[in-house]
Structure 1
């Protein structure tokens, strides 16, 4: 293990933060928008997932956390663990701002196993003046490390920061280290910007303490954001994938590049690029490789500068369901929910070979719920409808609804939350559907104030938050302008992921 120094002040600060969360958790627990099967803190603010890894048989997920309020503030690292990627336990807060190099916050980062212990890499932040997320120019960002023997209690490295300043290719925006091992060397990619161009910067190390700058692994082409946050670089099949979350686009989103990484030159050559998720609420995604060789991704199921009605209920922010990444036969990235989530299913209701038309009675009139998994398959070859799909979280008078439907003219799936609630967030998300598709498969996860949609076995995804009234629980099948054949539909209620706390 690298040398670490126990700091009593850090222990005291993490304990104080845990105590604050324990005081606030009962208020948050009573909020009707509280999610049932997504990772959240017990109370108060969270954002980016951090430090995803499997360690000593358990999955670990850390996250950016402000334990002292429902707004963003000095970042700590919250922590949950799971043995099966489904049922989770809250653990003590892992990192708190405590040192001269991180007293403004412990920003996002990653985790690796080394010599039997766990190492966290994070961005330490200090401010010249008051802490303010919007004022990036009065902020200094450095890369730091903390160590643990048990994966629960962490001490910060005596030689922090391990990278004390950005290279000439970067700037003061210099954050979110993702660390991994290739061959016998360690590598780190860090997000940055220079001259309004987003960049991913590459470092190399033999011992995880001393890092040598290798260069710009990839940068924006001028249309992909002025700052790249939360970079993640990994191999997948016979390709490599780089994920980044750009700032400066019309809509905050996560994008990916599929291509080839040359470790000799330190350069990534992209062959294709696309949005990771076409919704408004999927950002700062990070991945891990588990002991089955799967590449699993989790994102922040929210975004910056939007209405968050949950803040009135004592909490803000959640993480997406875990998603498995793969490349299809044409080298495109597909994302699907991990199959372990089927453990949460109860009470299946099914329909088969049914024609849905504008004159049809609602075939799902007897199905209600706010914590559901839905799998529906429609025949496109025989479809005469101009629009068809499902309405979720429908109120008794029809005033509230969230629609997920196929637009036949433009061959796309549309997620319309314009009537979902009174939060006032943007309403329409659109995901493409392959023009060769003879069927449309919709795999939908509804969890009180979130909806995640996977189209045609994960060829595209849409993730959005919604905030309907608690009694808006209806579900409808519908078609407009003609009929569509429903080949199959299954609806399950889903249980809670949270293990009882001692």
Structure 2
């Protein structure tokens, strides 16, 4: 693997020398150059946070998957590390697909899917997927240990292991497709190397529930268990399931030896255009955190013209509210990125636009819904996007604009029943993340504004809107 890693490093450095940064994020994780998708191997070990990710270092398109790698001591400031895994062995020659990381008695251990095309590259009807191990004693250099789990007979799509330790055993949940229906399969082991099938935790009962469940993740939260996964093949229904593929969760009760008893049906986790393959991990202080891929399959990616594609969301804290709904909040550590604070007084706007400024990357504000009668009111991000209340539809809308017609579309969530709408918004060079009412809903979307066209403005159309006081900051770069 050393030769393959050296070649990959050389390739990504050559691409990096040509990379253009018009859209390159200041405070989101992204590749030095080339392509990334799923976050992998999220872990805090020996006081260091590790984020691995699916990576193609040879150009800006999806290709044979490597594992890129970045580290942080504070979850805020990040440093790129050498590529951790490269495909090439007979069991992973066409890709080191998604997986996870665990602390095995002080040894940083990666569990990933080895992918092999049995026919033509890209032919999903002929493939082999096995689960593999790789280990490191320094957190940087990894040694492959080979396959530890093969697919059962009759199943080819068998990937994305997520492993955790409980009751003195290792547990693994992974995604599979059987009879063209998605499922999450559960395995157990005493040593990470010999695995026993336990049960199907949950599965689609019809194709309308997904033909493949990717990137499953099983974890406790409050007094429940969450099964997080990304089903492929859900049909759009009204405002729901509008993306090519979705990500969401089932809520229920589970203990070793027992079935997973589902108490809440599948719910989407983020209502924006670009959110897929989320994976969680445990922070140093025990909080449950999450990263996701901040892009979407088959979506136009203008950054490809600049030598790179793909980014990860901000790290998010997960909580469960009193109604049993999963909530996401920006990780509290992100406050360390804030520069000088700007404040804007509460104001009533009627049929007007009001510019706040050009260098605002985080905003916290409230809107008085009861005192606002405008048909549309909210926030413009240059001419690239706007976040607004549609008073007729009673929804909060994230709409984006582009010279690329496929990027011109809306995503939305229902307005809260209360009279107040609270928003926390992060605006990077090519993304928007909107947290609604302290995590009740989130909308994450890539946007592609022209250089110099990121000014933030308030607006009210066909009526008046009452905005509360606004706090805003410029944010510093996360890159060391």
The interval holding the TM-score normalised by the smaller chain is over 0.9
Q: Which has the higher strand share?
A: 2
Measured after TM superposition, the shift of residue 420 of structure 1 is 4.0
Q: Which residue among 36, 41, 48 is the counterpart of 1:58? A: 48
- Out of 242, 247, 251, the position equivalent to 2:232 is 247
Alignment partner of 1:74 out of 48, 64, 67: 64
- 1:166 aligns to what? 152
2:143 aligned with 1:155, yes or no? yes
Q: Contact 1:141–1:165 (CA<8 Å) still a contact in 2?
A: yes
What is the alpha-carbon distance in structure 2 between the residues aligned to residue 62 and residue 92 of structure 1?
11
Query: Of residues 367, 382, 385 in structure 2, which corresponds to 1:402?
Result: 385
Pick the aligned partner of 2:210 from 213, 225, 240. 225
State the Cα distance separating 1:482 from its structure 2 match: 2.2
Q: Which moved more, 1:242-251 or 1:89-98?
A: 242-251
- Secondary structure of 2:209's aligned partner: coil
Residue pairs, 1:290-439, within 5 angstroms: 290-358=283-351, 360=352, 362-364=354-356, 367-369=357-359, 372-392=361-381, 394=382, 400-417=383-400, 419-422=401-404, 424-435=406-417, 437-439=418-420
After TM superposition, give the deviation of residue 167 of structure 1 in Å: 5.5
Partner Cα distance (2:279, 2:7) in 1 = 28
Query: C-alpha displacement at 1:17, in angstroms?
Result: 0.9
SS at match of 2:83: coil
1:211 aligns with 2:191: no
Q: Which runs of 4+ in 1 moved over 4 A?
A: none
Distance 1:339 1:265 in 2: 35
Mapped to 2, the partners of 1:97 and 1:380 lie a distance apart of 53
CA distance in 2, matches of 1:303, 1:284: 10
Cα distance in 2, alignment partners of residues 462 and 345 from structure 1: 22
Task: Determine the structure 1 residue equivalent to 2:167.
Answer: 183
- 2:22 aligned counterpart, secondary structure: coil
Q: Which residue in 2 is equivalent to 1:447?
A: 428
1:305 Cα offset (Å)? 0.7
CA distance in 2, matches of 1:413, 1:297: 24
CA contact (8 A) 2:399 2:408 kept: no
Distance in 2 separating the partners of 1:352 and 1:224: 47
- Tell me the equivalent position of 1:14: 5
How far apart, CA to CA, are the structure 2 residues paired with 1:312 and 1:477? 32
Q: How far apart are 1:94 and its partner, in Å?
A: 0.5
Q: Is the 8 A contact 1:47 1:63 kept in 2?
A: yes
User: Deviation at 1:473?
Assistant: 2.1
Aligned-partner Cα distance in 1 for 2:17–2:438 = 38
Partner of 1:5: none
Deviation at 1:385?
2.1
**1:292 counterpart SS class:** coil
Shift of 1:466: 1.2
Task: Name 1:101's counterpart in structure 2.
Answer: 91
Match of 1:137 in 2: 125
Alignment match, 1:7: none
Contact 1:290-1:296 at 8 Å conserved across structures: yes
SS at 1:319's partner residue? coil
What root-mean-square deviation, in Å, do the aligned CA atoms of Structure 1 and Structure 2 show? 1.5
How far did residue 379 of structure 1 move? Answer: 1.1
With normalisation by structure 1, the TM-score equals: 0.91
| Whole-Å separation in 2 of the counterparts to 1:304 and 1:361 | 35
- In 2, Cα distance between equivalents of 1:156 and 1:258: 35
* Cα contact 1:175–1:192 (8 A) shared by 2: yes
Given the two structures, how large is their TM-score scaled by the length of structure 2? 0.95
Offset, 1:268: 4.4
Unaligned runs of 5+ in 1: 1-9, 395-399
- Deviation digits for residues 266-293 of structure 1 (CA, Å, limit 9, x no counterpart): 4342424311101110000000011211
SS at 1:291 equivalent:
coil
**Structure 1 SS opposite 2:148:** coil
- Aligned counterpart, 1:463: 444
Contact map agreement 2:214 2:231 (CA 8 A) in 1:
yes
- What is the deviation of 1:469? 1.0
Query: 2:28 aligns to what SS in structure 1?
Result: coil
Per the TM alignment, residue 209 of structure 1 is displaced from its structure 2 partner at its CA by 0.6
Shift of 1:92: 0.7
Kindly tell me: are residues 451 and 179 of structure 1, through their superposed partners in 2, closer, same or farther at Cα, counting changes over 3 Å?
same
Give the Cα–Cα distance (whole angstroms) in 1 for the partners of residues 457 and 368 of structure 2: 18
Alpha-carbon distance between aligned partners in 2 of 1:328 and 1:81, rounded to the nearest angstrom: 31
CA distance in 2, matches of 1:421, 1:495: 29
Unaligned runs of 5+ in 2: 236-242
